[in-house]
Structure 1
Amino acid sequence: MSAGGPTTAVLVLEDGRIFRGRAYGAVGETFGEAVFSTGMTGYQETLTDPSYDRQIVVATAPQIGNTGWNDEDDESGRIWVSGYVVRDPARVPSNWRARRSLDEELERQGVVGISGIDTRALTRHLRERGSMRAGVFSGEAIAAEAELLERVQAQPHMKGASLYEEVATREAYVVPAIGEKRFTVAAIDLGIKGMTPHRMAERGIEVHVLPATASA
Protein backbone atom coordinates (compact mmCIF):
# COMPACT_ATOMS: atom_id res chain seq x y z
CA MET A 1 0.00 0.00 0.00
CA SER A 2 1.40 3.38 -0.93
CA ALA A 3 1.73 6.30 1.49
CA GLY A 4 -1.14 8.08 -0.25
CA GLY A 5 -3.56 5.17 0.12
CA PRO A 6 -4.35 1.88 -1.63
CA THR A 7 -2.61 1.18 -4.94
CA THR A 8 -4.98 1.10 -7.91
CA ALA A 9 -5.32 -2.16 -9.85
CA VAL A 10 -7.28 -3.27 -12.91
CA LEU A 11 -8.35 -6.65 -14.23
CA VAL A 12 -8.63 -6.82 -18.01
CA LEU A 13 -10.38 -9.71 -19.78
CA GLU A 14 -9.59 -10.61 -23.37
CA ASP A 15 -13.11 -9.68 -24.50
CA GLY A 16 -12.56 -6.11 -23.31
CA ARG A 17 -14.39 -6.25 -19.96
CA ILE A 18 -12.50 -4.30 -17.31
CA PHE A 19 -12.81 -4.33 -13.52
CA ARG A 20 -11.14 -1.71 -11.31
CA GLY A 21 -10.07 -2.24 -7.74
CA ARG A 22 -7.09 -2.16 -5.39
CA ALA A 23 -3.78 -4.01 -5.48
CA TYR A 24 -3.68 -7.15 -3.33
CA GLY A 25 -0.45 -9.03 -2.76
CA ALA A 26 2.40 -8.08 -5.07
CA VAL A 27 2.21 -4.96 -7.25
CA GLY A 28 2.99 -5.30 -10.96
CA GLU A 29 1.41 -7.27 -13.77
CA THR A 30 0.44 -10.86 -14.41
CA PHE A 31 -1.33 -12.85 -17.11
CA GLY A 32 -3.26 -16.10 -17.13
CA GLU A 33 -6.57 -17.81 -17.81
CA ALA A 34 -9.34 -16.32 -15.67
CA VAL A 35 -11.28 -18.99 -13.78
CA PHE A 36 -13.35 -18.96 -10.59
CA SER A 37 -13.22 -21.07 -7.45
CA THR A 38 -16.42 -21.58 -5.46
CA GLY A 39 -14.81 -22.85 -2.24
CA MET A 40 -16.02 -21.10 0.91
CA THR A 41 -12.85 -22.16 2.73
CA GLY A 42 -9.48 -23.62 1.79
CA TYR A 43 -8.01 -20.72 -0.18
CA GLN A 44 -4.50 -21.75 0.88
CA GLU A 45 -4.99 -25.21 -0.62
CA THR A 46 -6.41 -23.69 -3.81
CA LEU A 47 -3.52 -21.27 -4.27
CA THR A 48 -0.90 -24.02 -3.81
CA ASP A 49 -2.73 -26.56 -6.01
CA PRO A 50 -0.55 -27.25 -9.10
CA SER A 51 -3.67 -27.65 -11.26
CA TYR A 52 -4.12 -23.86 -11.13
CA ASP A 53 -0.79 -23.18 -12.86
CA ARG A 54 -1.03 -20.20 -15.27
CA GLN A 55 -4.52 -19.32 -14.07
CA ILE A 56 -5.87 -16.15 -12.47
CA VAL A 57 -8.25 -17.45 -9.83
CA VAL A 58 -11.36 -15.52 -8.82
CA ALA A 59 -12.63 -16.31 -5.32
CA THR A 60 -16.44 -16.33 -5.30
CA ALA A 61 -16.63 -16.24 -1.49
CA PRO A 62 -17.09 -12.56 -0.57
CA GLN A 63 -14.42 -12.38 2.13
CA ILE A 64 -11.03 -14.05 1.83
CA GLY A 65 -8.05 -14.19 4.19
CA ASN A 66 -9.85 -14.51 7.53
CA THR A 67 -7.61 -17.34 8.76
CA GLY A 68 -4.37 -15.92 7.38
CA TRP A 69 -1.62 -18.23 6.12
CA ASN A 70 -0.03 -21.13 7.99
CA ASP A 71 2.89 -23.43 7.23
CA GLU A 72 0.98 -26.73 7.26
CA ASP A 73 -1.82 -26.60 4.67
CA ASP A 74 0.12 -26.07 1.43
CA GLU A 75 -0.65 -28.63 -1.29
CA SER A 76 2.82 -28.12 -2.79
CA GLY A 77 5.98 -26.12 -2.22
CA ARG A 78 4.70 -22.82 -3.65
CA ILE A 79 1.72 -20.80 -4.86
CA TRP A 80 0.91 -21.79 -8.45
CA VAL A 81 -1.81 -19.36 -9.47
CA SER A 82 -0.74 -16.55 -11.79
CA GLY A 83 -2.98 -14.04 -10.02
CA TYR A 84 -5.67 -13.82 -7.37
CA VAL A 85 -8.94 -11.87 -7.42
CA VAL A 86 -10.98 -11.21 -4.28
CA ARG A 87 -13.82 -8.94 -3.27
CA ASP A 88 -13.25 -8.17 0.41
CA PRO A 89 -9.87 -9.16 1.90
CA ALA A 90 -9.79 -9.63 5.65
CA ARG A 91 -8.15 -6.66 7.35
CA VAL A 92 -6.87 -8.74 10.28
CA PRO A 93 -6.37 -12.52 10.08
CA SER A 94 -7.49 -14.48 13.12
CA ASN A 95 -6.46 -18.11 13.61
CA TRP A 96 -4.14 -19.76 16.12
CA ARG A 97 -2.25 -21.52 13.29
CA ALA A 98 -1.70 -18.38 11.20
CA ARG A 99 1.88 -17.23 10.73
CA ARG A 100 1.18 -14.22 8.48
CA SER A 101 -1.62 -12.69 6.44
CA LEU A 102 -2.66 -13.91 3.00
CA ASP A 103 -1.71 -10.53 1.57
CA GLU A 104 1.81 -10.89 3.00
CA GLU A 105 2.24 -14.38 1.56
CA LEU A 106 1.04 -13.31 -1.89
CA GLU A 107 3.50 -10.44 -1.82
CA ARG A 108 6.30 -12.69 -0.54
CA GLN A 109 5.82 -15.09 -3.44
CA GLY A 110 5.35 -12.32 -6.01
CA VAL A 111 1.71 -13.11 -6.81
CA VAL A 112 -0.09 -10.09 -8.26
CA GLY A 113 -3.69 -9.77 -7.13
CA ILE A 114 -6.63 -7.40 -7.08
CA SER A 115 -9.31 -6.75 -4.46
CA GLY A 116 -12.39 -4.62 -4.11
CA ILE A 117 -14.12 -5.66 -7.33
CA ASP A 118 -17.56 -7.18 -7.90
CA THR A 119 -16.51 -10.83 -8.05
CA ARG A 120 -20.16 -11.89 -8.39
CA ALA A 121 -20.47 -9.95 -11.67
CA LEU A 122 -17.11 -11.28 -12.82
CA THR A 123 -18.11 -14.87 -12.04
CA ARG A 124 -21.39 -14.50 -13.94
CA HIS A 125 -19.45 -13.08 -16.87
CA LEU A 126 -17.08 -16.06 -16.92
CA ARG A 127 -19.94 -18.54 -16.51
CA GLU A 128 -21.76 -17.09 -19.50
CA ARG A 129 -18.76 -16.59 -21.78
CA GLY A 130 -16.32 -19.22 -20.54
CA SER A 131 -12.80 -19.00 -19.21
CA MET A 132 -10.64 -16.49 -21.05
CA ARG A 133 -7.24 -14.87 -21.00
CA ALA A 134 -6.84 -12.02 -18.55
CA GLY A 135 -4.32 -9.71 -16.98
CA VAL A 136 -4.04 -7.97 -13.63
CA PHE A 137 -2.14 -4.68 -13.57
CA SER A 138 -1.28 -2.43 -10.64
CA GLY A 139 1.01 0.44 -9.83
CA GLU A 140 3.33 1.47 -12.65
CA ALA A 141 2.11 -1.44 -14.81
CA ILE A 142 -1.18 0.37 -15.47
CA ALA A 143 -1.38 1.96 -18.92
CA ALA A 144 -4.09 2.99 -21.36
CA GLU A 145 -6.96 0.48 -21.56
CA ALA A 146 -6.33 -0.25 -25.23
CA GLU A 147 -2.69 -1.07 -24.52
CA LEU A 148 -3.55 -3.36 -21.61
CA LEU A 149 -6.13 -5.20 -23.69
CA GLU A 150 -3.63 -5.63 -26.49
CA ARG A 151 -1.12 -7.14 -24.05
CA VAL A 152 -3.74 -9.57 -22.75
CA GLN A 153 -4.77 -10.64 -26.25
CA ALA A 154 -1.12 -11.25 -27.14
CA GLN A 155 -0.83 -13.96 -24.46
CA PRO A 156 -0.86 -17.64 -25.52
CA HIS A 157 -4.06 -19.64 -25.14
CA MET A 158 -4.26 -22.39 -22.52
CA LYS A 159 -5.54 -24.93 -25.03
CA GLY A 160 -2.70 -27.24 -25.99
CA ALA A 161 -0.35 -25.98 -23.26
CA SER A 162 1.88 -28.65 -21.72
CA LEU A 163 1.67 -27.72 -18.05
CA TYR A 164 2.77 -30.95 -16.41
CA GLU A 165 6.36 -30.14 -17.35
CA GLU A 166 6.15 -27.08 -15.09
CA VAL A 167 4.40 -28.58 -12.09
CA ALA A 168 5.54 -32.23 -11.87
CA THR A 169 8.29 -33.39 -9.54
CA ARG A 170 11.73 -33.76 -11.09
CA GLU A 171 12.79 -36.56 -8.74
CA ALA A 172 10.90 -39.58 -7.44
CA TYR A 173 10.03 -39.64 -3.75
CA VAL A 174 8.25 -41.97 -1.36
CA VAL A 175 5.42 -41.20 1.06
CA PRO A 176 5.55 -44.06 3.56
CA ALA A 177 2.44 -45.80 4.83
CA ILE A 178 1.14 -44.65 8.19
CA GLY A 179 0.79 -47.64 10.48
CA GLU A 180 0.66 -51.11 8.93
CA LYS A 181 1.65 -51.15 5.26
CA ARG A 182 -1.02 -52.80 3.13
CA PHE A 183 -0.20 -51.81 -0.45
CA THR A 184 2.40 -50.14 -2.63
CA VAL A 185 1.24 -47.70 -5.28
CA ALA A 186 3.11 -45.81 -7.99
CA ALA A 187 1.64 -42.36 -8.69
CA ILE A 188 2.65 -40.49 -11.83
CA ASP A 189 2.85 -36.80 -10.94
CA LEU A 190 0.91 -34.72 -13.46
CA GLY A 191 0.26 -32.01 -10.87
CA ILE A 192 -0.59 -34.08 -7.82
CA LYS A 193 -1.68 -32.30 -4.63
CA GLY A 194 0.32 -33.08 -1.51
CA MET A 195 -2.74 -34.22 0.40
CA THR A 196 -3.49 -37.01 -2.09
CA PRO A 197 -0.56 -39.33 -1.25
CA HIS A 198 -0.94 -38.35 2.41
CA ARG A 199 -4.55 -39.58 2.48
CA MET A 200 -3.44 -42.78 0.77
CA ALA A 201 -0.69 -43.20 3.36
CA GLU A 202 -3.29 -42.91 6.13
CA ARG A 203 -4.92 -45.99 4.61
CA GLY A 204 -1.76 -48.08 4.77
CA ILE A 205 -0.52 -47.34 1.24
CA GLU A 206 3.15 -46.67 0.53
CA VAL A 207 3.09 -44.15 -2.34
CA HIS A 208 5.98 -43.83 -4.79
CA VAL A 209 5.47 -40.46 -6.53
CA LEU A 210 7.21 -40.50 -9.91
CA PRO A 211 8.04 -37.79 -12.46
CA ALA A 212 5.62 -37.35 -15.35
CA THR A 213 8.30 -38.75 -17.68
CA ALA A 214 8.45 -42.09 -15.86
CA SER A 215 7.93 -45.17 -18.05
CA ALA A 216 6.24 -48.43 -17.17
Structure 2
Amino acid sequence: MTRIVIALALLGILVGPAEAPAETPGLSPGDLSRLSRGEILFRNQLPSAEDAPAGNGGTALVVLEADPQEVWRILTDFDHYAGLFPRLKESEVVDRNGARALVRFHVAVGWFNFRFFVAHVVSQEGRELRWRLDRSRENDLFRDTWGYWRLDPLPGGQLLVTYAMGSQTVLPAFLTRGSEQESVVKTLAALKARVERSRGVRHAEGRPGLPGEV
Protein backbone atom coordinates (compact mmCIF):
# COMPACT_ATOMS: atom_id res chain seq x y z
CA MET A 1 0.00 0.00 0.00
CA THR A 2 2.84 2.40 0.86
CA ARG A 3 4.39 1.93 -2.58
CA ILE A 4 1.03 2.62 -4.25
CA VAL A 5 0.61 5.87 -2.30
CA ILE A 6 4.15 6.97 -3.19
CA ALA A 7 3.66 6.09 -6.85
CA LEU A 8 0.45 8.11 -7.01
CA ALA A 9 2.14 11.06 -5.32
CA LEU A 10 5.04 10.84 -7.76
CA LEU A 11 2.60 10.77 -10.64
CA GLY A 12 1.02 13.97 -9.36
CA ILE A 13 4.35 15.73 -8.91
CA LEU A 14 5.99 14.63 -12.14
CA VAL A 15 3.24 14.62 -14.71
CA GLY A 16 0.21 16.21 -13.12
CA PRO A 17 0.46 19.78 -11.86
CA ALA A 18 0.48 22.62 -14.36
CA GLU A 19 3.27 24.28 -12.40
CA ALA A 20 5.64 21.30 -12.77
CA PRO A 21 8.80 22.36 -14.65
CA ALA A 22 8.74 21.59 -18.37
CA GLU A 23 12.18 20.00 -18.09
CA THR A 24 10.93 17.28 -15.71
CA PRO A 25 11.38 13.96 -17.54
CA GLY A 26 8.24 12.01 -18.42
CA LEU A 27 8.03 8.79 -16.43
CA SER A 28 6.33 5.51 -17.20
CA PRO A 29 4.44 3.38 -14.64
CA GLY A 30 7.53 1.17 -14.51
CA ASP A 31 9.69 4.18 -13.69
CA LEU A 32 7.33 5.21 -10.89
CA SER A 33 7.45 1.67 -9.50
CA ARG A 34 11.26 1.70 -9.49
CA LEU A 35 11.31 5.04 -7.69
CA SER A 36 8.83 3.79 -5.09
CA ARG A 37 11.26 0.91 -4.36
CA GLY A 38 14.08 3.38 -3.68
CA GLU A 39 16.00 2.81 -6.92
CA ILE A 40 17.87 5.63 -8.66
CA LEU A 41 16.34 6.44 -12.03
CA PHE A 42 18.44 8.05 -14.79
CA ARG A 43 17.12 9.94 -17.79
CA ASN A 44 19.24 11.13 -20.70
CA GLN A 45 17.81 14.65 -20.47
CA LEU A 46 19.88 17.77 -19.87
CA PRO A 47 18.60 20.57 -17.63
CA SER A 48 17.60 23.79 -19.34
CA ALA A 49 19.69 26.95 -18.99
CA GLU A 50 19.99 30.22 -20.83
CA ASP A 51 22.58 30.05 -23.62
CA ALA A 52 23.40 26.47 -22.63
CA PRO A 53 25.50 24.71 -25.26
CA ALA A 54 25.07 21.14 -26.40
CA GLY A 55 26.68 18.97 -23.76
CA ASN A 56 26.72 15.76 -21.78
CA GLY A 57 25.03 14.82 -18.53
CA GLY A 58 21.47 13.92 -17.64
CA THR A 59 18.82 13.86 -14.92
CA ALA A 60 18.53 11.39 -12.04
CA LEU A 61 15.81 10.92 -9.44
CA VAL A 62 15.50 8.96 -6.20
CA VAL A 63 13.01 8.69 -3.34
CA LEU A 64 14.54 8.92 0.14
CA GLU A 65 13.19 8.45 3.64
CA ALA A 66 14.52 11.76 4.87
CA ASP A 67 13.70 15.09 6.45
CA PRO A 68 13.81 17.73 3.68
CA GLN A 69 15.65 20.09 6.05
CA GLU A 70 18.43 17.56 6.57
CA VAL A 71 18.89 16.98 2.84
CA TRP A 72 18.76 20.73 2.23
CA ARG A 73 21.46 21.26 4.86
CA ILE A 74 23.75 18.80 3.05
CA LEU A 75 23.13 20.36 -0.36
CA THR A 76 23.85 23.89 0.84
CA ASP A 77 26.97 22.93 2.81
CA PHE A 78 29.17 23.97 -0.11
CA ASP A 79 32.45 23.77 1.82
CA HIS A 80 31.95 20.03 2.42
CA TYR A 81 31.02 18.81 -1.06
CA ALA A 82 34.08 16.52 -1.22
CA GLY A 83 32.81 12.94 -1.32
CA LEU A 84 29.48 14.02 -2.76
CA PHE A 85 30.74 14.54 -6.31
CA PRO A 86 33.07 12.05 -8.04
CA ARG A 87 36.77 13.01 -8.03
CA LEU A 88 36.11 16.21 -6.07
CA LYS A 89 38.99 16.87 -3.67
CA GLU A 90 38.01 20.25 -2.26
CA SER A 91 35.30 22.91 -2.43
CA GLU A 92 35.37 26.39 -0.93
CA VAL A 93 32.92 29.28 -0.86
CA VAL A 94 34.88 32.30 -2.09
CA ASP A 95 32.00 34.78 -2.19
CA ARG A 96 28.49 34.85 -0.74
CA ASN A 97 25.76 37.42 -1.32
CA GLY A 98 22.29 36.59 -0.02
CA ALA A 99 20.96 33.57 -1.91
CA ARG A 100 24.04 33.42 -4.15
CA ALA A 101 27.27 31.58 -3.42
CA LEU A 102 30.36 31.35 -5.60
CA VAL A 103 32.22 28.09 -4.98
CA ARG A 104 35.70 27.09 -6.13
CA PHE A 105 36.09 23.40 -6.92
CA HIS A 106 39.26 21.30 -7.10
CA VAL A 107 38.90 18.05 -9.05
CA ALA A 108 41.61 15.42 -9.54
CA VAL A 109 41.55 12.98 -12.46
CA GLY A 110 44.56 10.69 -12.24
CA TRP A 111 47.67 12.86 -12.21
CA PHE A 112 45.74 15.90 -13.44
CA ASN A 113 44.20 18.59 -11.25
CA PHE A 114 41.51 21.02 -12.35
CA ARG A 115 40.02 24.07 -10.65
CA PHE A 116 36.91 25.97 -11.64
CA PHE A 117 34.29 28.35 -10.21
CA VAL A 118 30.55 27.67 -10.04
CA ALA A 119 27.87 30.22 -9.09
CA HIS A 120 25.00 28.77 -7.03
CA VAL A 121 21.55 30.31 -6.52
CA VAL A 122 19.60 28.98 -3.53
CA SER A 123 15.79 29.02 -3.44
CA GLN A 124 14.96 27.80 0.07
CA GLU A 125 11.21 28.32 -0.35
CA GLY A 126 11.12 26.25 -3.51
CA ARG A 127 13.79 23.87 -2.16
CA GLU A 128 15.68 24.25 -5.41
CA LEU A 129 19.38 24.90 -5.91
CA ARG A 130 20.63 25.94 -9.35
CA TRP A 131 24.18 26.49 -10.52
CA ARG A 132 26.19 27.63 -13.53
CA LEU A 133 29.89 27.89 -14.30
CA ASP A 134 31.16 31.42 -13.68
CA ARG A 135 32.57 32.03 -17.13
CA SER A 136 34.04 35.38 -16.08
CA ARG A 137 36.65 33.42 -14.10
CA GLU A 138 39.60 31.36 -15.27
CA ASN A 139 38.36 27.76 -15.28
CA ASP A 140 40.14 24.50 -16.04
CA LEU A 141 38.52 21.62 -17.93
CA PHE A 142 34.99 23.04 -18.30
CA ARG A 143 33.76 25.33 -21.03
CA ASP A 144 30.41 25.32 -19.21
CA THR A 145 28.48 23.36 -16.59
CA TRP A 146 24.97 23.95 -15.26
CA GLY A 147 22.18 22.16 -13.43
CA TYR A 148 19.98 21.96 -10.36
CA TRP A 149 18.89 20.02 -7.28
CA ARG A 150 15.18 19.94 -6.40
CA LEU A 151 13.38 18.46 -3.37
CA ASP A 152 9.70 17.43 -3.49
CA PRO A 153 8.13 16.09 -0.25
CA LEU A 154 5.96 12.97 -0.58
CA PRO A 155 3.50 11.28 1.81
CA GLY A 156 4.80 9.19 4.70
CA GLY A 157 8.03 11.09 5.28
CA GLN A 158 9.35 10.33 1.79
CA LEU A 159 11.25 12.84 -0.34
CA LEU A 160 11.76 12.93 -4.10
CA VAL A 161 15.23 14.26 -4.95
CA THR A 162 16.01 15.34 -8.51
CA TYR A 163 19.57 16.04 -9.66
CA ALA A 164 20.23 17.32 -13.17
CA MET A 165 23.59 18.25 -14.67
CA GLY A 166 24.82 19.38 -18.06
CA SER A 167 28.40 20.14 -19.03
CA GLN A 168 30.74 20.85 -21.88
CA THR A 169 34.46 20.26 -21.40
CA VAL A 170 37.53 21.08 -23.46
CA LEU A 171 37.65 17.38 -24.41
CA PRO A 172 35.66 15.88 -27.31
CA ALA A 173 32.11 15.03 -26.17
CA PHE A 174 32.37 11.36 -27.15
CA LEU A 175 35.28 10.91 -24.71
CA THR A 176 33.38 12.20 -21.68
CA ARG A 177 29.74 11.28 -22.37
CA GLY A 178 29.73 7.99 -20.46
CA SER A 179 31.65 9.26 -17.44
CA GLU A 180 29.49 12.37 -17.09
CA GLN A 181 26.26 10.36 -17.23
CA GLU A 182 27.71 7.92 -14.70
CA SER A 183 28.70 10.81 -12.42
CA VAL A 184 25.06 11.97 -12.25
CA VAL A 185 23.99 8.62 -10.80
CA LYS A 186 27.05 8.39 -8.53
CA THR A 187 26.36 11.85 -7.11
CA LEU A 188 22.78 10.97 -6.23
CA ALA A 189 23.94 7.67 -4.69
CA ALA A 190 26.52 9.58 -2.62
CA LEU A 191 23.83 11.97 -1.39
CA LYS A 192 21.64 9.02 -0.40
CA ALA A 193 24.54 7.45 1.53
CA ARG A 194 25.36 10.75 3.26
CA VAL A 195 21.72 11.23 4.30
CA GLU A 196 21.58 7.69 5.69
CA ARG A 197 24.83 8.20 7.64
CA SER A 198 23.54 11.48 9.04
CA ARG A 199 20.31 9.83 10.12
CA GLY A 200 22.28 7.02 11.77
CA VAL A 201 24.39 9.50 13.74
CA ARG A 202 21.28 11.34 14.92
CA HIS A 203 19.67 8.11 16.08
CA ALA A 204 22.87 7.04 17.85
CA GLU A 205 23.00 10.39 19.65
CA GLY A 206 19.34 10.06 20.56
CA ARG A 207 18.31 13.30 18.92
CA PRO A 208 16.00 13.59 15.91
CA GLY A 209 16.48 16.34 13.35
CA LEU A 210 14.88 19.58 14.44
CA PRO A 211 12.02 20.74 12.19
CA GLY A 212 13.66 24.09 11.42
CA GLU A 213 17.28 22.92 11.43
CA VAL A 214 19.20 23.74 8.26
TM-score (norm 2): 0.26
Higher helix proportion, which one?
A: 2
- Structure with more strand by fraction: 2
TM superposition score normalised by structure 1: 0.26
Q: Which has the larger radius of gyration?
A: 1
